[in-house]
Every structure is written in C-alpha cells, then in structure tokens.
Structure 1
Amino acid sequence: MRKNQNEDTNVTLKAPRARVLSTRLHSFTSSESSSPRSLTDPLVHDLDWRSRRYLDYFASDVCKDFVLYDTPKHNPFRQLIPMAHHQPMLLQAIVATSALHMSNASLLLPSASSIFTTPASTENSSELVGSLSIGHTTSYPDAFHDALKAKQQALWLLSSAIRNVASANVDAILAAVLLLVGFELIDSGPGRGSWKYHINGARMITQKLIASGPAKGTSFSPLRNPLTNPGTHDALQLLHAAKSFDPAAWATNLQPRSPADDLLHRTMVACAHRTAVCVYISRIILAIWPSTMLSDDLQILAAEIITHLSHLHPGDALFTATAWPAFIAGLETCDTMDRAWVQRRFQELWKVEPWGFTREALGALRTLWAGRKKEAFLTSSDDEFFKGEENWNWIKRLKSLGADWLIA
C-alpha cells in the first residue's frame, strides 16, 4: 500500500457490474436451509447462516481483491478462514470486511447523472464529507448493518487480545488488524482516516513484542537516509534513484515467479509507478524548495503515466495495480482529455473492486481540479495565468484537505 497525505472527499460512482454479486447470494437471503454446499464444512457447521454467508462471500469475492493473482491454494487471505474457527476476533474481522464489501457491491443508483457530486459547491472539507457520503441504507442495508456490528465485536475482542498480547495468538491479531485496515479502505462513509488507528495499533503490538521477547538478533532496517536526512541534495539523490530504476529488468527478473504470461503488463505497471514516483518526489521538492530547478516537464511525465497505464484494461490481472499512478497523473495533468481518462479509469476500478478509496481518490481529484479552475478564472492576464500554473502545487492543496489516507 502507498500512502498519500491529506485527502478529505468522497464521490459516488456507478454500481459495479452484476457479476460482483454472484447468483448464489439469492439463496443466502431466503432461509437458513439454503446455505451453499461449500459451507457444510465442519469448520463452519456451528456458525449461524449469516456468518456462513459472509465467509463464503469472503472466500469467493473478497480474497481475490487482496492479491494480484488469485490462484488455488496460494491466496494467504483465504487461508485465514480455518484460523478464524478458533479465533473469534479474526472471524468477526472477516465477517465485517465481507459484509461491507457485499454492501458496496450491491449499491444501485437511479441514474448515471447521480454518479458525481460537484465539490465546488461545498464551502469546507467537513461539509464536503457529509455531502459526498454514501447512503448504505438505500441498498442491501442488512449487509451494511452486519458489517458495523461485526466490526464493533472485532474491535472489542482485539482490544482484549492486545491487553494480553503475551498469551494471545499474535498472527491472528495482526491478521485481524490487516483486515480492519482493509475494512476502512472498502468503507465509503465519512469516517475516513480510521485506518491510521489500526496501523498505530499494529505498530504498538510489534513494539510490545520486541520489548518483551528475547533478543533474537533481528534488526529492523531504518528508512533510507534520503528519507530521514532533510536537504535538497538528499531529495535530488532520491529523485535520481527513482529515475535510475529499470522497469524492464525488474519485470524480467520477476517473470519466472509469475503465474501468468504478463511481462508486458508488469513492465508497463512498473514504468507507470516509476514515473509517478518521480512526479511525486518532484512536487515535494518544489513544495519545500520552490526555487529548485528540475529538468523534467511534469506535464509530460503525467502524460507518460497515462500512456503506460493505457496498456492495461479491466480483466487484466494487474489492472488493480494502476490506481496510485493514475491518481498521481490526475493530480498533475492540466489536460482535459487526460483528466477524463483518469475519471474513466477510477470508474473501471470501482466496477472491478468496489473499495471506497477509489471513490475518495476521484473525489479528491475533482475537488482539486475545481479549485485549480477557480484560481485560473481569477487571473487578470495570460502571464499571470501561466505563472500561476507553473507555481501550482497539488501537494500543498492535497494537504489542505485535512486528512491522511491510503491508496492500495
């Protein structure tokens, strides 16, 4: 997962393709006796039919969203289900994540005209959060309510386990924390940023284990010096390191371990990420040291990102790995056609994986685009306009939205 700072908007997208909710779910809503055959396993025979429904949906639909390649017996998230039989905390985290995913996947909106809410009409970020939040109760409300209930139970059980971490199953604790982070990313409500609490909790657990456990000679590598030593020189070195990365060599080295013949797609994804990292670092440098002269035209780099990502389409295994570079391209580009492409890409991502962060990302882009357009209207001359465009830095604008968030 990659962290981007300070996003505070959300936007309503189309409901995903009908395939996301498989036909077997109709039997789940009828009666207890119609639970799917796959859940007659002894591991789940003592669970109520709702829990079995969500476990089945977790195994069939949610698990594949956590990995690039969902191959038999090689998805670690699906392997959490047997562990959950003996770990109520983990079970509730699975149920919560699955139920929320099911709720998102079943959202039905009345018309395409309601896909977007215009953020420019909102005065501040707190109002924007409320105006763009999703009405879960309008569709499949039982799944959404089940998600909230299971999340609260998981948090209560997790709190109890952390208080007794020395005797608890640490693997189950960390797995539950990871799923709760996923829950927050799937969530499309106004409570964004909650994932930070789970990350901090995992950090606290790790620190407790290090402090209480015997020394094993294991050391945690500190962040690289360019990230911890301030200064233009270090920042430029970091930018140079990003430019020096060879996507083709990296993709070729990984290909023998890939379950698919995806060398071209993997290379294009790596190229897009390399260019996006260069744009991101460049904008940070210009935000801190505005007088720095950089050799790259960031508008050209944004167009390059889109060119690389255009090789991947819905249905490609690596398609979901395009969210972060697409977001960076959308933040940087001034081109209306490129912005339209980015909007379509996030709509397509939502159809493939109904995770709330895709809507939040598009909401942030639309908010920043509207702000940039408003500033352009206020310029009094062409010279002032072009100077404003040159000095416009989305890093600062993104920070001003007032929340931390993740793009997976």
Structure 2
Amino acid sequence: MAPGGRKKGKKVPPGPVADKPCHNCRRRRLRCDRLLPHCAKCEAKGVDCLGYSQIFQWTGAVASRGRLAGQQSSAALYTPARPTSARSRASLSSVSSLSSASPASSSSASSAASPSVQSSSPAFIVPSLSQVEEVTETSEAESESEFDAIYGFDNEIDDEHYDDDATPVASCDTQLVCTTGHPLATETSTPWVLVDPLYQDITSNHRQYLAYFDARLSRDFVAYDVPDNPFRNLLKFTQAHPLLRQVIIAASASHMYNRSRPWLSLDSLDRGLGPRNLLMDALEAKHQVLRMLPSALQSIESIGGDIVLAAILFLINVELIESGKHNWKAHFDGAGKIMKLLGPVSDVDESLRDYIVSDCFIYYILESTFRPTSSDSHSYFDSCEALKILSKTTNSYYCCPPELLEIMLIAARLSSKKHDDVVSADMVTAAGAALLDRARNFDVLPWARDIAINPSTEQDPVLSRFRVATSHRLAICLYILNAIPSVEAWVGDGLADTIFAELHQILSMIPDDDTNFKATAWVTFVFGACAKTPEMKDWVTIQIKKLMLESPWGFLYAARDALQMLWNVQAEGMPMTSWVQTLRDLHMDFLII
C-alpha cells in the first residue's frame, strides 16, 4: 500500500480525558475533545463549559428562547398516569407476583426507559408500581391514586380515606418528592422528579420509606394529623443522625409490610405473607439500629438525649408493629433511664419532646395494667407527675383525659399491692372504691371541648373526643372492678353488668372512619375480657379486625391471642380470681396501646 494511502488514526488529545463528551458538545452534537477539566472547544468559542459530571436543573423554570420560550419546565409537574384496567388487574392478581427486588432496584429498572437521566443519581426517585401492592379482587382497582399503587393501599382498606384526585406528598418543609397533579401527563412523560436537597444524598430506597412515614405512618402517633404534626419534624434530623433515620425506615417498612399482607379469608383475623423485600428492608434497618445503639448511648451528650430517646421510642414502636410481645420491654426500660438524663431542650422543639415523653408515659401506664409491677422499676415514671406531662399533649393519639390515665395508673398499682401489716386488704378495697367513684363521676365533656386545633378530617371533633373519652372512662371502671376483686364484692355484681352494657353502647356509636377509632384498642380488649356470651365475643372479634384494618400494628394480634386464651380458661371452667390476675400469672408480656 502506498504511504499516502494509509488511513490516519484518531487524534488522541494530550493529558487526561473524560469518558464522555461535555454537556455543551453533546447538546450541539459536536465531537468533543473530552479534555479535563474543561473542553478545549468550549474555551476556544468563549463558552462556559458545563463539564462532564451530573448537572442539576431547576424545575418549573421558564425557558428564555427556543420553541418553549415563555413556558415552564414540566419536570416538576409530572404525575404518573393511571394504569389501564387490564394493567391494574394484572398487577394486583397475586401477592406471589410481587417483585422481590428492593425499591432501589425497581427504580434502576425503570431508568432503562429514560436514558436521558442517570439511574444512579441520588437526587432523583422513580416510583415503582409493583413494589408493595396488596391483593384485591375489586373492579375499582383502576380508580386508585398513584400513591396507593406505590404504597400498596387497596380498596379493602377503605378507611384510610385517601383522596383519589390528590397525590399525597411530603409537607412543604420536609418535601421528599415534588409532584403535583397535571391533566396533560401521559405515560410517556419522564417519571423523574427532583427532591429536597436535604434528602438527595439518601438512597431512593430509604427516601421511599421516609416519604411513607411523612404521608402515612406519622398519622398514627397523633389524634389529628394537622400540618404541625410534631412527629413529622423528626424527618429533618434523619440525615444528620443515621440512628434516627434507620429506626424510622424500620418502622415504615414494617408498617408497609403489615398493610400489604392479604387476608386469608373475609372472616379471618389471619393474614398471609407480604412482599419479601419490605420484610428484609425492615429487618436490615432494625439490625442497623441495634448495632448503632450502644455507641449512641455512649455519646448521648454529643448526639442529644432527645434524638436518642426518639430513636428508642420508635424502636419500641417497631416491636409493637411487628408483634407487641416480649422484645419491647428491654427498650422501654432503657427509655426510662434515658429520660433521667434529659437536659434542656436543644435541637428538637419543645412540642416534639413533650409528645415523645407523653407517649413513653402512656406506654408505661398501659403496660402496668396487665403486667406485675415491681417497686424497684421505672423509678423515673414513679417520680413524675402524670398530669403535668400528659396535659401538654392535647393532640395525643390516645385521646384520653389525663385524669383518667392517672386513675388507671393508681388502680394498676393498687392491684399489685401485697397485703401486710402496713397495707391491709380493707385499705386497698377502700382506695379502689374511691377510685371507682372518681372515675364514674368524671365529666369528659370539658376535656372534649378543650381542643385548640380544627381538624379538617373530622366533622365534629368534640363529639368524637367525647365518645372515645367516655369509652375510656367506662373501661377504666370495668378494669377497677376486675383488677381489685374486693371492690366488685363491695359494690355488687349489678354495677359491672350495667357498665358493660353502657360500654357496648358507646363503642357501637364510634364509626370505623372516626379518626380516634384507633385509640379504642385497650378499651376493646377490656370489653372482650369481660364478655361472657358468644355473641359479645364475636362482636369483639369483629371490632379487633376493624382496628387491624385501621392500624395494622402487630400488638393487635397479641391482644387477640390473649383474649382467646382468657376465653379458653373461662370455657374450661378453671378457677379464676379475676382475668387481670390471670393475665399477670401467664406472663405474656404484651402491650396494648
């Protein structure tokens, strides 16, 4: 071959080069020399080189030139289109068809359809329609919102009352994913949206669970989910405190898993298995929390006592969401010790601390009702005044006047008193009778009217609070009669039957869609423990399933098992002083909140 005919090779630029063209040359379809740190062509033309790394663009910005001049960017206006009927039915046909991949892997798979955006970008999140969907046979699956499809809300759980026309997103202060409804959105639109810079360094898998906590789980910790829900403020601390982030992820994943488990039958209280990836994410996050907790306790002064206490409270909640048995006790004892170390409020706001401490105190009172209490435990709770702490949290999830909670605690302590030369049986009976009169004569109406917030989700919040508080008052009266049997002998058997009938009437008046319906779990358990006829026991079973639909927490299954055990003891005719003492003798170590 002639020397002049040799094909010239590609000229290699001197120095280090990038593995892809710069953004300017790629957009102008020019051959880039890929020089680092800036393209030589851009410098020669006097153009600012945009470089080779990932760039971020403002969404909703107005174009200054071109065919879209004067129009806004549509990136922030994307709402995934509703799937067709056939696609909805296919995706909801079986739990076994659920993808076992994590949400992060689902997002990377979806990125194949959008090559213009890198799937590895930490600033984007792509929703996957098949991650947590729950089985449903209803023909209205196509009318569910995209949020329901992502998080597995089905038409069987119709008490969540999600608005089909609105896409639930995080609050403005802690927005994880920015998306609004747009009538022109189609399936061909890009699903990528920018997120709050506070969360862009968190993986998309974790961001999904934080978004679920913001939109759904945080509602379970207050009576009314108002915009200033104090528990939602925990999200802003999740990036700086991995311990808090992991425990919120564990709680959200466990809650999502319970919601996605299908019922074995319409009249059954048992559920099948849910998506495996949710369970694995929950267990992995819980393992990370337990691994980080010892070092956090050693450096509690630098991290902050409020952050550590919040993490332990949610670790208790994780156990209650999973089963409500055994494991929560060790965490609860640790929470009592940490509360002794709390100093002045530092990073978290005072309202958040009040609600965290209030929840711990409510858990302590409810734990004392069915478990034997020792005199050398819970020294912090014993040294505190219940009214002072509980009166600060009028929007507490439990929806019960502090005075009634105090009566409940005193009754639990009286029932655990051992008779000796100092405290006689007559003294305990007299004190119990005085407590019973105090509970029966307590007026809940002023407390029900004392509500500073105006929830939009409740038509008549005063009536709702009055009914639930009345049910607590009657249940506490039944508890006193059974926890201190000598009091029932003192007042007569007829009073217990009268209170039982009144409690059944007031519970029947609380609708399933009442926001405060979730606060009747302990009341329903006490009513079920006092039930004697098969009709009343069947009614209690239906009430427990309604509670499971409203709040899929595992402690409800523990309550069902305890009731079944009590009913079996009654059916066998075994001698029983009182069902409260029987529960304590069984050492079931369950907690009903």
Among 532, 546, 550, the residue aligned to 1:334: 532
Among 171, 174, 185, the residue aligned to 2:320: 185
CA displacement at 1:291 relative to structure 2: 8.3
SS in 2 for 1:77: helix
Residue 196 of structure 1 corresponds to 329
Among 547, 560, 564, the residue aligned to 1:366: 564
Among 93, 106, 110, the residue aligned to 1:30: 106
CA distance in 2, matches of 1:174, 1:35: 33
- Give deviations 1:93-146, integer Å, cap 9, x for gaps: 000000101111111244346545xxxxxxxxxxxxxxxxx77xx321111111
Are the structure 2 counterparts of residues 273 and 115 from structure 1 closer, same or farther at C-alpha, using a change threshold of 3 Å? closer
TM-score (norm 1): 0.75
5 Å-filtered alignment, 1:119-198, equals 138-188=273-323, 192-198=325-331
Residue 320 of structure 1 corresponds to 518
Matched, 1:68 2:68: no
Which stretch of structure 1 is more off in the superposition, 36-45 or 59-68? 36-45
The answer on whether the counterparts of 2:309 and 2:339 sit within 8 Å (CA) in structure 1 is no
CA distance in 1, matches of 2:583, 2:258: 26
Matched, 1:91 2:290: no
The answer on whether the counterparts of 2:102 and 2:277 sit within 8 Å (CA) in structure 1 is no
CA distance in 1, matches of 2:452, 2:216: 27
The answer on whether the counterparts of 2:500 and 2:527 sit within 8 Å (CA) in structure 1 is yes
5 Å-filtered alignment, 1:73-84, equals 74-84=228-238
CA distance in 2, matches of 1:291, 1:52: 54
Structure ranking higher in helix proportion: 1
Task: Give the count of matched residue pairs.
Answer: 340
Unaligned runs of 5+ in 1: 1-17, 19-24, 117-133, 211-218, 377-387
| Alignment-mate amino acid for residue 107 of structure 2 | S
Residue 482 of structure 2 corresponds to 283
CA distance in 1, matches of 2:247, 2:320: 14
| Alignment-mate amino acid for residue 448 of structure 2 | A
Are the structure 2 counterparts of residues 272 and 114 from structure 1 closer, same or farther at C-alpha, using a change threshold of 3 Å? closer
The answer on whether the counterparts of 2:269 and 2:545 sit within 8 Å (CA) in structure 1 is no
Are the structure 2 counterparts of residues 112 and 317 from structure 1 closer, same or farther at C-alpha, using a change threshold of 3 Å? closer
Among 79, 90, 107, the residue aligned to 2:261: 107
Are the structure 2 counterparts of residues 364 and 83 from structure 1 closer, same or farther at C-alpha, using a change threshold of 3 Å? same
The answer on whether the counterparts of 1:299 and 1:332 sit within 8 Å (CA) in structure 2 is no
- Give deviations 1:217-239, integer Å, cap 9, x for gaps: xx954577956675222222222
Matched, 1:57 2:212: yes
Unaligned runs of 5+ in 2: 1-91, 93-100, 109-118, 120-124, 128-176, 179-193, 344-380, 387-405, 418-427
CA distance in 1, matches of 2:551, 2:434: 36
SS in 2 for 1:193: coil
CA distance in 1, matches of 2:461, 2:200: 40
Residue 398 of structure 1 corresponds to 583
- Give deviations 1:188-232, integer Å, cap 9, x for gaps: 3xx71221111111111123447xxxxxxxx95457795667522
| Alignment-mate amino acid for residue 238 of structure 1 | L
Are the structure 2 counterparts of residues 299 and 292 from structure 1 closer, same or farther at C-alpha, using a change threshold of 3 Å? closer
- Give deviations 1:283-305, integer Å, cap 9, x for gaps: 1111xx48842245323322211
Which structure has the greater CA radius of gyration? 2
Matched-pair identity in %: 35
| Alignment-mate amino acid for residue 312 of structure 1 | I
| Alignment-mate amino acid for residue 146 of structure 1 | D
Are the structure 2 counterparts of residues 94 and 331 from structure 1 closer, same or farther at C-alpha, using a change threshold of 3 Å? same
- Give deviations 1:336-364, integer Å, cap 9, x for gaps: 22222211111011111110111211221
CA displacement at 1:41 relative to structure 2: 1.2
| Alignment-mate amino acid for residue 512 of structure 2 | P
The answer on whether the counterparts of 1:85 and 1:91 sit within 8 Å (CA) in structure 2 is yes
The answer on whether the counterparts of 1:90 and 1:176 sit within 8 Å (CA) in structure 2 is yes
Are the structure 2 counterparts of residues 282 and 291 from structure 1 closer, same or farther at C-alpha, using a change threshold of 3 Å? closer
The answer on whether the counterparts of 1:303 and 1:333 sit within 8 Å (CA) in structure 2 is no
CA distance in 1, matches of 2:539, 2:314: 31
Residue 465 of structure 2 corresponds to 266
CA distance in 2, matches of 1:325, 1:346: 11
Which stretch of structure 1 is more off in the superposition, 29-38 or 93-102? 29-38
Matched, 1:346 2:479: no
Higher RCO, Cα 8 Å, sep 6+: 1
TM-score (norm 2): 0.53
Which stretch of structure 1 is more off in the superposition, 291-300 or 143-152? 291-300
Query: CA RMSD, aligned part only?
Result: 2.9
- Give deviations 1:70-114, integer Å, cap 9, x for gaps: 122x21121111111110000000000001011111112443465
| Alignment-mate amino acid for residue 59 of structure 1 | D
